[in-house]
Amino acid sequence: MNRQSRTTIQPSPSLLHRVDLVLDGLMELVLLAIVLITPWLFGGYHNYFQHLACAGLSIALVLWAIKQIIHWQLKLHFCIASLLLVVLFVVSSFSLLSLPPATLKSISPEVASWYQKFLPRQQEQMEQGGINEPAPFPPGTTLSIYPGATQQALLELLAVMVVFLLVRHSLADPERFKRFAWAMVINGCLLSIFALLQKLRATGNTIYGIGVAGEPFGPFINRNHFATYVNICIFLGLGLFISQMRSRKTQYRTGMDGQRQPISYSTDSWSEILQHPIAMWLLIPIATCMTGVLASLSRGGILALVSGLALTLLIWRRRAGGRNLAALILIPVLAMGILAWFGASPTIARLEQEQAVAMEGRFSIWQSAWEIGRNFPLMGTGFGTFTHVEPVYRPAGVDQIIAHLHAHNEYLEAFAEGGVLRLLITLALVWLVLRAGWLALHPQSGIRDTGMILGAWAACVTVALHSVVEFGIHLPAIASALAMTGGFLQALSRKRLDDGDTDTLIRSRFLGLGPVIAAVFAGTLALILFTGSWRYWQSEWFRERGLLAMQQGKDKNDLDAFQRAVDLLDMAIYCAPAHARVRMERYEVEQQRLVKVEEHARIDLSRRLTAQALVRIPTSLTGMTVIPLGLFAEDALLPYLVQASMAEDLRKSHQTSWNMQAHQIRTARNCCPVLWKPHLAIAEHVPPANATLQEKDLQLYWKICDSLSAYLDRIKLLQPHRAETWYLAGQLEWLNGQRVAAIASWRRCLELSDEFIAQIVISCHQDALQPEMRLSREEVMTRLLPPSSASQLVSAAWALHPEAKEVEARKPYMERAIELLEKREDVLSPENQFIYGMALWGVDKREQGLQNLLIAVRARPLQTEWRLNLGRLYFELEKYADAREQLQMVLRQQQGNKIAELLLQKLDELQRPGTNKDVKR
C-alpha cells in the first residue's frame, strides 16, 4: 500500500514529456519568429527591432529555466564551441573593468599611452558652478577606448550566444532542424521574390516607401547582407533536398486503384528527379533564392555561393559518388535560367568591374584594421570601437568624412578590437563548427542526416567566406540565423545511425542547487537582454525625436521646439549615459538654441522701442508744446537701459546654459577620448591668451584647463588626414593670435583638400578685426598655398577678387597658375583644361578661356560645377542662349542650385520685350 501510494504521487513520465514538448515548442516558436521576421524589418538594424528580438530571447530563457526546475536538474551538453562563446563574452567584458594605472599599463601599454595623449592630467574646471555628475566609467581606466560602444556590442554578442546555447543544449532535434530549414527556404524565397519585384519597379533607395541610406535590396538596407542571409537559406534547402533523395533504385507499392506508385525515386536520371514531389517544393524555391543572390549584384555573396556549391558537389561526390550530382547541378542551372529571363546583364557587368573593390575602399579599411591590431596586439581597443579608432589610422588619399561602422572583414575586425586573443577565439569557433560538420560527412562516420549536415555545413562555410569581405554577421537577422544553424550542426553531427549518441550529456543537481543556479542564470541573462535593449531603444527614440524637434525649430524659427529638442536629448542621455554621440548632439542643439534666444531678444528689443515711440505720438498730437525734461531723459536713455537689461538676461542665460554644456562636452570626451569634436568644443572655451576679459566674461571659459595647443594637437592626431579638422584648428589659432601656427594648419588643410580655400584666404587676407595679422599677396602665394597647386591659385584669386573689374588684382595668381600648368605633362587632361580656362578668364582672356572650359565640360559632362562656370562665362560674354542651355542643364543635374537659378532669373529679365539687350549666339 505504501509502495503504491508512493508510486502514484511520482510525476508521470508522459506528463513530463508533454510539458517538455510544450516548453521546447514555445522556445522553438520564439527563435523561429526572430529568425524569420527580423529580415523583413530591415534586417533588424534598428534598436527597436533589436529590442523585440531580445524580448523574445528573454521569454525563451525563462522557458528554459522552467524546464530545468521541472526536472530539478541542470542538463547541458559538453561543447567546446559553447565554452568558447562564453570565454569570448567574458574576455570582451573584461575590457569594461576599471583598472589601476599600473595594471592597465602592464596589460595594454598602448591604451595607457593613448589615455596620456588624449586626456588632460586634471579635469577642466569652470570659474564657478558646474555640474559634478560622476562619469559612467572612470576616464582613462578601462581597456576599452569607448566603454559605451563596448557595452552595446556585448549586448548583441550576448543575444547571439543565447540563441546558440538554446539550440545546442535544448532544441537540437532532427525534426526541429528540418522545420527550421523548411522555414528558412520559404522565407528566403519570399525575400527573393520581394527583392526582384522591387528591382523591376525601380524603387530606388527606398524600402516600403521609406528612404534609406546605402544600396538596399529587398528589405535589407545593404544588398550584401541580403546575399549573406539568402545564401544560408539556399544551403539549408539543399540539405533538405539531399536528405529527401534516395540513391537506390525505384521501389513501388500498389495503391487503392491497383496502380503501382513509387515509394522513393532514384537520382540516377533527370526524369525521376523531376517526378519527385520534393523537386517542386524545393528546387524552384532554392533556384529563386539563387536568382535573388545573383540579381543583388553582391560580388562577395555570389562568390560565396559559387564556392559553397562547389564544395557541396565535391563533398557529396566523395560520400555518394557521382550518382547524385545531377540532382545538385539541376538547381544552379534552373537559377541561371530564371536569371537569364529576368535579365543577367547587370550581374555580368557588376562582376566585370575589376577595380570596384578598390574603389569601394575595402583595401584602405583593411589596412586601417591591420594597423590598429598591430598597435594594440594583445587586447585590442575594445569590442565595438572600430568605427571610432579607425580614422586615426586611415590612409591619406581616401575619403576622410565617411564613417566605417565595421572593417568589412570579420577576422581583421576581431584582431583590431580584441587583439590576438579575440582573433584566436574567433578562428577557433569557426574551425570547431566547420570541423564538426566535416567529420560527420565522412563516409565511415556513421552519422545520420548527412544531407542536412552537409547543407548546414555549407551554409556556415558561405558565411565564413563572405565575412572576409563583408560584415553581415553583425546584423541581427544574419547572426541569429547563423547561430541557430551552427547550434544544430554542432549537435546533430554527433548523432549516429544506430541511435548511439557521442554527445556527452551532463546532468547534475549540484547538491540540489542545479535548478536554482539555472533559474538565476537564465533570469539574469533575460533581465540584462530585456532592460539593456529597452534602454538603447528608448535612447534612440528620444534622440531621433529630439533631432526632429531641432529641425522643426530651424524650419519654423520656433524657440519652444529647440527647448523640446534639448529636453528629449536629456532623456536620451539618461537612458544611455555612456554614449558620447548623444551628449555632443545635446551640446550642438543647445548652441543653436542660444542663437535663437539672441535673435528673439533682438526682435523683442525692436518691438519694445517701437511701442515706446508709438506711445509718444498721441502726446505730440494733443498740441502739447512743452515736454518735461524728465521725459526727454527717459526717451534718450530707454534704448540703452533696454539693451543693458537684455544683455544681462542673455549673459545669465548663457551662464546657466554653459554649466550644462561644459558638463556634456567634458563627459563626452571622457566617455570616448578618440572623438575629435569634444576636444574642439572644449578648445573653443579655452581663455584667449591675447585678450583681457572681464569677470563676467571669464565665467564662460574654463578656469583650469590645458593650453589651446594641447587640445588642437589632439585633434590633429585623431584626424591626421581630414581637411576639416586642420581648418577648424587653424581658425582657433588665428582668432587667438597664433599666426604662424594658423598658417601651418591652414596650409596642411589645403594640401589635403580644396574645400576650405575660399574661407581660408578671405580670413587671412581680408581680416578686418585683426589687421596686424593679415597676410600679404606674396605671403598667401608662398607661405599659405601649396607651391605646385595651380587649382588653388586660381580658386584663391577668384575668392579674393571675384569682381570683373579686379583683373589686375587677380593677375599675379593667374599668371603663376598658367606657368605651372604649362610645365605639366598632363596639361591636356580635362581637369587641367578647366583650371586653364578659369585662369585665362581671370586675366580677361575670356574667349580663350571659353574654349578650354568647353573642352573640359565635353570630356566630363557630369561635372556640375564646371558646367555652372561655363554658363557664367557665357553670361558675361552676353551669349545668353548658350548660357541658358548650360544653366538649365545644371539645374537638371543639381536641382535647387541657387547660382543657376539667380542667373536664369537675370536672363529672363534681360530678355523681356522692351529691353535693349539682344540675344547673341
For 447, other C-beta atoms within 10 Å of its C-beta total 20
- What's the average model confidence in pLDDT over 843-867? 88
What pLDDT, on the 0 to 100 scale, is given for residue 634? 47
DSSP 219: T
pLDDT class for 713, splitting at 50, 70, 90? very high
Quote the pLDDT of residue 881. 87
Residue 74, strand partner residues:
508
pLDDT at 333: 56
The C-alpha atoms of residue 695 and residue 432 are separated, in whole angstroms, by 68
Burial 689-723 (b: 16+ CB within 10 A, else e): eeeeeeeeeebbbbeebbebbebbbbbbbbbbbbb
Kindly give the residue spans of alpha helices, DSSP state H, lying in 409-558: 410-440, 450-466, 476-492, 514-556
Q: What pLDDT, on a 0 to 100 scale, did the predictor assign at position 736?
A: 87
Average of pLDDT values for 288-298? Answer: 87
pLDDT at position 420 is 93
pLDDT tens sequence across 459-483: 999 999 899 988 989 999 999 999 9
pLDDT of the residue at 565: 92
Q: State residue 497's pLDDT score.
A: 42
CA 425 to CA 157: how far, in whole Å? 14
Q: Please, which pLDDT band fits residue 10 given cuts at 50, 70 and 90?
A: very low
**Mean pLDDT score, 773-789:** 85
Instruction: Write the pLDDT tens digit of every residue in 888-914.
Output: 898 888 888 888 888 888 888 877 665
The per-residue pLDDT of the chain, averaged, comes to 81
pLDDT-derived band at 1, boundaries 50, 70, 90: very low
Express as a percent the part of the chain with pLDDT over 90.
34
Q: Give the per-residue pLDDT at 411.
A: 94
Q: What is the reported pLDDT for 729?
A: 93
Give residue 342's pLDDT. 47
Percent above pLDDT 70 for the chain: 78
More confident residue, 88 or 804: 88
Report for 21-35, 66-80, 274-288, 612-626: range of highest mean pLDDT? 21-35
pLDDT beyond 70 at 919: no
d(CA 208, CA 203) in angstroms, rounded, equals: 9
| Residue 348 or 888, more confident | 888
Give the mean model confidence (pLDDT) for residues 515-532: 89
**What does the pLDDT read at residue 247?**
44
Most confident stretch, 181-185, 315-319, 684-688: 181-185
pLDDT: which is higher, 496 or 415: 415
User: DSSP state, 142?
Assistant: S
**pLDDT higher for 6 or 818?**
818
The arithmetic mean of pLDDT across residues 33-50, rounded, is 92
Contact 210, 34 (CB under 8 A): no
Q: How far apart are CA 206 and CA 219, in angstroms?
A: 9
Q: What is the pLDDT of residue 227?
A: 92
CB 493 within 8 A of CB 439: yes
Predicted confidence (pLDDT) at residue 49 exceeds the cutoff of 80: yes
Contact criterion met (CB below 8 Å) for 363 and 357: yes
Taking each continuous run of H as one helix and of E as one strand, the counts in the chain are: 39, 8
- On the 0-12 / 13-18 / 19+ scale of CB atoms within 10 A, 420 is middle
For residue 173, what pLDDT is reported? Answer: 85
Residue of higher predicted confidence among 362 and 673: 673
Contact 876, 846 (CB under 8 A): yes
**What's the rounded Cα separation, in Å, for the pair 405 and 725?**
20
Q: Average pLDDT in the 89-117 region?
A: 92
What percentage of the chain's residues is helix, strand, coil (to nearest 5)?
70, 5, 25
